[in-house]
C-alpha cells in the first residue's frame, strides 16, 4: 500500500528567516579561497617533509582506502598532457592541533599521489588509447622541454579556511565521492556481519584504558572507529603473516570466520591479551598511541604497529621490561613505517609490526624494506 504524501504546510516568515540564518551560518564553515599551483609545486608540498610526516600537503586517515590502478593513474597523466579539464583539488587549512597550518587533502589524494609517483619515476604510463606513443614512458623519458612544460602545468585548489572542522571535512569528502554520506566499512559490518564475535569486539571497544590511550575524536567515535581498531588488532595479531593486499577483505573474512566458529574461540585469552597490551602501552608509551602528548586523534597505521607489535613482544616475554621507547618512537625509521601515506602492502605491514616487536624486545629490527614500486602499489593505503 502506497504511503500518502506528506501534506505541505505553508511556511511562516519567521520560519523562513530561521532557515536563511542557518544557511548563512553553515556557509561560514565552508568559506574558501581558490588557488592555482604548478604541478611541481604541488608535488613539492606533498613530498617535502614526507619522511617525517610533516609535509605541508597530507592525506588524512579517513580517505586512504581509495587507491587508483596504474591504468587510472596513466589516464590522469594523459589528461594533463592533453590539457583536458581536471577537477579541482579540495584542501583544508587545519586550524589547530598537531597539524595546525598544514593542508589536509579533502578530495584529490589519488591525483596528488599519482603526480608524486610520476615525477619521481615510479609510474610507467600504460594502456593509453589516445596518446599511444606515451605508453612505456616514465617522466625521465620525456624530453627536457616536455618535462619543463609538464612541471608548470597548473591545477586549481579550493582551500577551505581554518574554520572547517573535522566533521565538516569528512562530510565534504563523502558528498564529493558518493553524493551523500554512506556507511563506512565498519558500519556496514555492524549490519551485515553481526554475530557473537562482533559483540565481543564491541564490548572491548568500550574499554576505558583503551579509549584513554587512543583518542579518536567524536566524529570517528560515532562511526564505529573503536570497534574498527579492535577488529584490526585481533586480525593482525593473529593473522598478519597471512595478509595479502585488501584490508577490507582481510578484516571482513576474519570477522566472518570468527563469528562462524565462535564456539571454539578462546575469548578469555583474547581479552587477556588485549587488556595486557593496553596496560603495557599505558605504562610504557608516553601519550599512549598518540603521536604527541597533546594529539587528539590516532592514525590507524600507528595504532596497528604499536598494538600488534606489543602483543607479539608480550607473547615472547610476558613480564617484559623494555628499553625506553622514547629512544625510537620519534625516530625517522618508525615515522617512515607509520607515516600518513604508508602502504598496506604485505611486506610493509609485516615490517612495521615486527619493528615495534623487536624494539621492545631489545633486538635490532630488519632494515626497512625498499620495495619496488609495482609491489608497493599492490597495497591499499589506509
Give CA–CA dist 217/166, Å, rounded: 9
Residue 342: strand, helix, or coil: coil
pLDDT at 372: 39
Residue 106: strand, helix, or coil: strand
Give CA–CA dist 159/35, Å, rounded: 7
Calculate the dihedral angle through the C-alpha atoms of 245, 246, 249, 254, rounding to the nearest 10 degrees.
40
318 φ, ψ to 5°?
-60, -30
Give CA–CA dist 176/216, Å, rounded: 23
Residue 308: strand, helix, or coil: helix
pTM above 0.95, yes or no: no
Alpha helices in 12-57 (DSSP H): 13-29, 39-47
Given a cut of 70, the residues of the chain with pLDDT beneath it are 1-6, 24-31, 62-66, 162-168, 170-194, 340-343, 368-382
CB 365 within 8 A of CB 359: yes
Strand partners, 57: 103
CB 59 within 8 A of CB 105: yes
73 φ, ψ to 5°?
-65, -45
CB 351 within 8 A of CB 369: yes
Give CA–CA dist 26/150, Å, rounded: 39
157 φ, ψ to 5°?
-120, 140
Give the closest residue to 365 by CA, choosing from 378, 374, 352: 352
Query: Can you read off the three cell numbers belonging to residue 113?
Result: 599521489
Dmax of the chain from CA atoms? Answer: 73
Please state, as a whole number, how many other Cβ atoms lie within 10 Å of the Cβ of residue 28: 10
Strand partners, 104: 58, 92
Write out the E strands in 228-377.
none
CB 47 within 8 A of CB 40: no
CB 349 within 8 A of CB 240: yes
Domain parsing of the chain, residue ranges: 26-178, 185-376
Q: Which residues contact 133 (CB under 8 A, 6 or more apart)?
A: none
Q: Which residues contact 96 (CB under 8 A, 6 or more apart)?
A: 162
Instruction: Return the CA Rg of the chain.
Output: 23
Amino acid at each position: 500500500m502506497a504511503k500518502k504524501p506528506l501534506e505541505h504546510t505553508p511556511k511562516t516568515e519567521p520560519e523562513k528567516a530561521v532557515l536563511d540564518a542557518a544557511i548563512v551560518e553553515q556557509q561560514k564553515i565552508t568559506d574558501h579561497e581558490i588557488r592555482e599551483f604548478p604541478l611541481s609545486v604541488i608535488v613539492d608540498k606533498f613530498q617535502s617533509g614526507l619522511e617525517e610526516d610533516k609535509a605541508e600537503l597530507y592525506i588524512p586517515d579517513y580517505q586512504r582506502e581509495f587507491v587508483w590502478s596504474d591504468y587510472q593513474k596513466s589516464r590522469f597523466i594523459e589528461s594533463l598532457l592533453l590539457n583536458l579539464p581536471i577537477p579541482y583539488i579540495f584542501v583544508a587549512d587545519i586550524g589547530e592541533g598537531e597539524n595546525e597550518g598544514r593542508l589536509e587533502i579533502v578530495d584529490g589524494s589519488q591525483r596528488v599521489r599519482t603526480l608524486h609517483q610520476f615525477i619521481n619515476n615510479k609510474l610507467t604510463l600504460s594502456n593509453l588509447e589516445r596518446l599511444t606513443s606515451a605508453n612505456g614512458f616514465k617522466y625521465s623519458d620525456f624530453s627536457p622541454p616536455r618535462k619543463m612544460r609538464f612541471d608548470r602545468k597548473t591545477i586549481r585548489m579550493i582551500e577551505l579556511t581554518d574554520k572547517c572542522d573535522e566533521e565538516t571535512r569528512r562530510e565534504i569528502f563523502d558528498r564529493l565521492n558518493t553524493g551523500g554520506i554512506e556507511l563506512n566499512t565498519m558500519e556496514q559490518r555492524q549490519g551485515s556481519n553481526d554475530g557473537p564475535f562482533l559483540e565481543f569486539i564491541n564490548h572491548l571497544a568500550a574499554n576505558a584504558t583503551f579509549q584513554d590511550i587512543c583518542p579518536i575524536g567524536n566524529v570517528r567515535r560515532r562511526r564505529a572507529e573503536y570497534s574498527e581498531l579492535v577488529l584490526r588488532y585481533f586480525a593482525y595479531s593473529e593473522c598478519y603473516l597471512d595478509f595479502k593486499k585488501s584490508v577490507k577483505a582481510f578484516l571482513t573474512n576474519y570477522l566472518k570466520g570468527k563469528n562462524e566458529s565462535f564456539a571454539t574461540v578462546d575469548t578469555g585469552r583474547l581479552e587477556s591479551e588485549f587488556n595486557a597490551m593496553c596496560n603495557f602501552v599505558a605504562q610504557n608509551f608516553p601519550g599512549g598511541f598518540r603521536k604527541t602528548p597533546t594529539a587528539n586523534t590516532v592514525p590507524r597505521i600507528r595504532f596497528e604497529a604499536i598494538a600488534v607489535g606489543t602483543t607479539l613482544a608480550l607473547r615472547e616475554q610476558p613480564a617484559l621490561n623494555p628499553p625506553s621507547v622514547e629512544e625510537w618512537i620519534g625516530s625517522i625509521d618508525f615515522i617512515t613505517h607509520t607515516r600518513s601515506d604508508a602502504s598496506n602492502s604485505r611486506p610493509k605491514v609485516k615490517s612495521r609490526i615486527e619493528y615495534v616487536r623487536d624494539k621492545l624486545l631489545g633486538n635490532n629490527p630488519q632494515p626497512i624494506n625498499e620495495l619496488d614500486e609495482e609491489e608497493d602499489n599492490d597495497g591499499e593505503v589506509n
